[in-house]
Amino acid sequence: MYWARHVCLHVIVCSSVRFIIFDKYAQIVAQHQLEFPQYYPNPGWHEQNPLEIQAHAEACIEQTMKSLAASGFTNDSVKVIGITNQRETAFVWSRKTGKPLCNAIVWDDSRTKNLVAHYEHVLQTKGLEIASGVWKKGQEGIDALREIAGLPLSTYFSATKVRWMIDNYPEVAKAHANDDMCFGTLESWLVYNLVGGVKRGLHVSEMSNAARTLLFNTTTLNWDPMLLKFFGLRQSIVGEIVSTSQTYGHIAFGSLKGVPIGGLVGDQQAALIGNKCLTKGEAKCTYGTGAFLLFCTGNEIVKSSHGLLSTVAFQPGPNSRPVFALEGSISSAGSAITWLKDSMHMISSSAQVNDLAAQEPTSGGVYFVTAFSGLLAPYWDSSATGLLIGITQYTNPSHIARATLEATAFQTRAIIESMVLDSGKGVTNLKVDGGMTNGDLAMSILADLNGNEVIRPEMRESTALGSALLAGSAIGLFGWDLTKPETLSEVNTKGTRTFKPEMPASIREKKWTIWQRAVERSRGWEAGIDEEEEDLLS
């Protein structure tokens, strides 16, 4: 039986840990999921306890292995594991004791807004030293930082989170001063513990995660000493950069003792791999609360001039050339549907949005810019707000439901058009995953308004699968080789459905023009509200 060997995958998402065991065809053999506590000590703050994450991860592994045994398989049928994780979340721990120095600051935590403003001021006035004695300041400094890191200054990325920890927690400051501090994103912390913790002292940072810290040089593919200096961080706090597919170490305890860890990757890059978007021009979008679209640019890093982020997609081995991607994010996708359910009470479950929208053939001239927390790529306008426009006495809830689904499709098109402009390569189809893709109507609308085929697999745990493919490739399991996409031809092909555009091009372009007008009306709104109006709205 082909189930005699399995690739096992350890998945950490923002609020839970999952452990999934796949076979060679990407069928799920066993799995378990546990939620772990989230902490919100102040408005805009979001923390996680590193020890709780580790404990839940270990418990999840053991429970999944019990399920595997109940199905008649032995522990040694698991040959390798991979880890995929939420990106940007910052962990710091003591090199001497192996214990966390404080709670992790999660990727969506916004406490560093003032710190980001400080560094923006530094770039404008003092500048960024890009080489010994060579400085860039003002707009040149801002552009230089983005050129090096591939990212803009933002609360999202890890560097300002670590700097905040040092500035505000005496125990972290002391460890940093005494060269007793290790920093990493989640995969770094998990590997450290799974292979033996302080006894082994393995401190690594996987490339796609490192590329989301604002400390990584996307040209040299290593930590950048000038960026570390800019943020006032010691070089010794960062781990060794490793590829996304290699044997990093072996699990030191439990049911999987001795099993190699063979794949590490950030969650969105994992979904790119899980959708088998491995060559230039292939794109995927994960539709959850928000949406994340990645476009593979091959071995060439494309510096965006159209509002996108340039990032490492994956490195298929320590001696292989890395593959890069352009990334664009939508802040509100599934969350707009949640708003219809929880705030407007138009539907009683998120799945019902498709049924409600299907009651009308069009949106009835209604357009919905779902900028609940501003607009991300490619607009980057934090002052934009939600806008529902085109309402008349004819408008009914079905029109609004359909406009909500169309909003995500329009924002997807905006990102894809930027990707085409940056890369010079067109997109023929879009591979999708995430909870929002369960709706057939939502996917048909996506295909119609983008003019591209939308491909949806039956098994949509693409993030988990991506890590599994990396791990299996690291040891040659099932003949998988990420540098040879044809070796993955049998992976996750069951039940794949393709949605083809049926809307006439003339109507598509007319709707796109109107959507762009709606976006312009939503932009800059908060910047135009004076203090008196803010008081009235608060």
Question: How far, in Å, CA of 76 to CA of 317, rounded?
Answer: 25
Give pLDDT tens digits for 165-197: 999 999 999 999 999 999 999 999 999 999 999
* DSSP-assigned letters across all residues of 203-269: -EEEHHHHTTTT-EETTTTEE-HHHHHHTT--GGGS-EEE-SEEEEEE--SSTTTTPEEEEEEEHHH
- Which 8-state DSSP code applies to residue 518? H
**Cis status, amide bond into 37, omega within 30 of 0:** no
Give pLDDT tens digits for 265-280: 998 999 999 999 998 8
Residues sharing a CB contact under 8 Å with residue 142, sequence separation 6 or more, in sequence order: 120, 123, 124, 152, 153
Give pLDDT tens digits for 331-369: 889 889 999 999 999 999 988 999 999 999 999 999 999
pLDDT band for 4, please (50, 70, 90 cuts).
very low
Question: According to the model, what pLDDT value does residue 288 have?
Answer: 86
Give pLDDT tens digits for 90-146: 999 999 999 999 999 998 888 898 898 899 999 999 999 998 889 999 999 999 999
Q: What is the mean pLDDT of residues 276-299?
A: 91
Virtual CA dihedral for 221, 223, 229, 235, nearest 10 degrees?
-160
pLDDT band for 14, please (50, 70, 90 cuts).
low
Question: According to the model, what pLDDT value does residue 537 have?
Answer: 43
Q: Is the pTM of this model over 0.85?
A: yes
